[in-house]
Chains A and B, each alone.
Chain A
């Protein structure tokens, strides 16, 4: 059975739907990337499937249960979310932020239990943020902060991880680092990962299945080999690209054919 499934899902904000009639299913242990131009509905889809948007139609099932009828607490116990990187307003310390992932599993006046502490320690170990312990968010680099937020999502102890452009605003080495951690979580911990992503090469290198959105509609779906084609990229992104095989992995890669470049 699919771990999460959308049925003719349309979703958006006050001024109308951004995605239209999206029907997708993600199985347990899959690594799926959602690709598309800016404004194509990648983030909207990631938010809608965890019931964060007010304006929705259709259905989302998580473990067979209707997400739109769940309380935030229930959703948080099944789906963990890493939002787009934002500037912190208040100076929380790294452990405080990771512990926030335990919110849905704590009573409001309860202190952190041994289980909470263990989950926080394990999440920090998996994302290699132990050395940042005691630091404030504002003292961290973008890559470090992103790892802390992934640790917070892991502390939620869910099977499903959703990420909204985890590579955005990161240096190239941090992009590979973040995706390396996600891949490790999929392989070693059996997590299901769904990430909105704008970088096609990054997505093709780590995800097993790619979903391309164009104007809020699923335009292509399948393995990187099936979907990363010059015709698809022209159709969906309006960009001329050459496709070649990555020398190490054999996976498809795009390189931009810019007008007047390299001639």
Chain B
């Protein structure tokens, strides 16, 4: 099978799964609803059903899709950026930084909502971006920086932030329940305000990354080779790093830390459709969104109590990942 046919099949499968996922998300929930109810609601909307279908279920499904798309795109960018299929949005410290911000806000009782973010969400967003900026600044050397330096600095900064997070959790153990939300991720608090806040940025980053995708193909061959072929390496690298950090920080700010999506989805997609970054970016976003949509369905329906979604992404993603890795050989 050629890559082109494979790509078409992949997109068709993703679209079908995605639409099916949205439909199921609309129908399943604590209040029993049937497809008939949904049809009747579409023909003659009423308030109660609107609250269930549109404000509770659709907003949550859309948010899950957007966050999945953001995380997977961020991961796809960083794997190209570091020329390493093991990189993910969290290696540069975004997640640890963001969770530190959220836990600090939660333990200080900082609750005010701004721009569709909750208090901890806003602080998570800011501290996630702050730690990437710090990592970047620390990695700068005269005449440029080395990619490896950023990676190692990110790991060190992430470890430091994790230690501080644990410290705050230890000191304020009464904030533990809320901290679990941030550390393992959840869409329990989904609402349209959050969707409106992150959607424009996700779309913008997707367009920009598709625009610069060929530059990323060149970067994958090495910085000097890329520049010799005509890519303005330093500028392109800055834009990609900023986009990946922004996407990951936005995702964490609305839903806490959801691991595994950013690492595994771009990796799957690359195995299935090849390494060309334009198709990879768009497909990763689509596949990541779809994947998280289903994970959220499982998270809220598997047990009577809602599970943190981070548990599901890893439990479902890891075996599938192993399967693909071994099938490839």
Contacts and interface: CB of A to CB of B under 8 A. Distances in A.
A72 B276 contact: no
Contacts of A88: 221
Interface residues of B, number: 30
B230 A83 contact: no
A155 B142 CA distance: 34
A104 B230 CA distance: 5
Contacts of A106: 214
B173 interface: no
Interface in A189-240: none
A100 B143 contact: no
Contacts of B217: 92, 96, 100
Contacts of B222: 83, 86
Contact of B225 (A79, A83, A91, A109): A83
A89 B220 contact: yes
B225 A72 contact: no
Contact of B228 (A71, A75, A108): A75
Nearest to B217: A100
A52 B275 contact: no
Interface in A76-91: 76-77, 79-81, 83, 86, 88-91
B3 A93 contact: yes
Given A14-B143, A52-B227, A72-B227, A90 B275 contact: yes
A50 B229 contact: no
B141 A14 contact: yes
Given A81-B228, A104-B229, A108-B212, A96 B276 contact: yes
Nearest to A51: B227
A73 B230 contact: yes
Contacts of A90: 83, 85, 220, 270, 275
B320 interface: no
Contacts of A108: 211-212, 214-215
B23 to A, nearest CB: 33
B84 interface: yes
Contacts of A104: 229-230
B200 interface: no
B243 to A, nearest CB: 15
A155 B144 CA distance: 29
B228 A100 contact: no
Contact of A101 (B229, B275, B276): B229
A77 B229 CA distance: 8
A80 B228 CA distance: 7
B233 A72 contact: yes
Contacts of B221: 86, 88, 97, 100
A123 to B, nearest CB: 14
Contacts of A77: 230
A103 interface: yes
A47 interface: yes
Contacts of A97: 221
A156 interface: yes
Given A47-B224, A91-B275, A100-B221, A13 B232 contact: no
A101 B276 CA distance: 15
A55 B220 contact: no
A13 B142 CA distance: 10
Nearest to A110: B214
Nearest to A97: B221
Interface string B1-41: 00100000000000000000000000000000000000000
> What 6 A-B pairs are tightest by C-beta distance, nearest first?
A54-B143, A104-B230, A76-B230, A90-B275, A81-B228, A73-B230
24 contacts: A14-B141, A72-B227, A72-B230, A72-B231, A73-B230, A75-B228, A75-B230, A76-B230, A80-B228, A81-B225, A81-B229, A83-B224, A89-B85, A90-B275, A92-B217, A92-B276, A93-B274, A96-B217, A100-B221, A104-B230, A108-B212, A108-B214, A109-B211, A152-B229
Given A75-B228, A91-B275, A108-B214, 5 more contacts: A72-B227, A81-B225, A86-B222, A92-B220, A100-B221
